[in-house]
Structure 1
Amino acid sequence: MKFKRQTKEEESINLTPLIDVVFLLLIFFMVSTTFTKETHLKVDLPEAVGEPGIKQSEPLEILISAQGDYSVNGKALVNNQMKTLKKALLEVSQGQLDQPLIITADAKTPHQAVVTAMDAAGQAGFVHLSMTTRKPAEEE
């Protein structure tokens, strides 16, 4: 028996699978990319001459101390009851319930005091309610 050794061809890289993968990636990125054309409209606003609108009334402010004591527009209340707070709000606002109302509370104020102030404002009929906060100190 005569064994004959076959000659090996040089090892080469088959590029067909590599090209397939590249085309698949190309198709994937083409399909997943959104093509949006942003349009910017140039608007020239009309001019008008007239009187300025009605000036917004000054906002009411409820201050709550760390102990839970209330003051409305800088005037301290005699007690911390909701009916006293509601009466003071209606008195100071003179029936104008569309005035903005700002609640400013100390960071250590009991949560119940803030909720009571919000509840009194809601029961009195105020709808423009906001809370004051401050930005935290930047960390160094």
Structure 2
Amino acid sequence: MNEHIRYVTGQIQDADTLPALLTAAFYGLETVERATALLAETTPENHRTDCDNALTASVDAWWALSDAPTWSSPGHSTPAELAARTSALVLLISQTLLQAANKTSDPADRIACLTAVHHAGRVHDALKEIG
């Protein structure tokens, strides 16, 4: 998670336009959601309620930001165009995961990467139906 937080922090600090700020904040909130979900699963029982509350609030913040017209407009793309762009991103992510799987010597890392590629392939197939 530390690398995610570091990356999103840099994206937020580098954003200089309203769309870039909203997009960086949106990804920041996604990272907060993932981090609080992880905390909710791993913290001692006496902190679970706080972590669950933080998770719920982060989801609420994410949904609230998704209503911002400047960010939430998909660039006036048709669903088919957005599906095609998303599908291309899925392929890029899959290629990246395959490279990572080839570079790791840890079998658990390799399995995680290849499993993610398998699921990404399912995303790609589903998106092809939209286009």
What TM-score, normalized by structure 1, do the two folds share?
0.21
Q: Higher helix share goes to which structure?
A: 2
Larger CA Rg, structure 1 vs 2: 1
What TM-score, normalized by structure 2, do the two folds share?
0.22
Q: Higher strand share goes to which structure?
A: 1
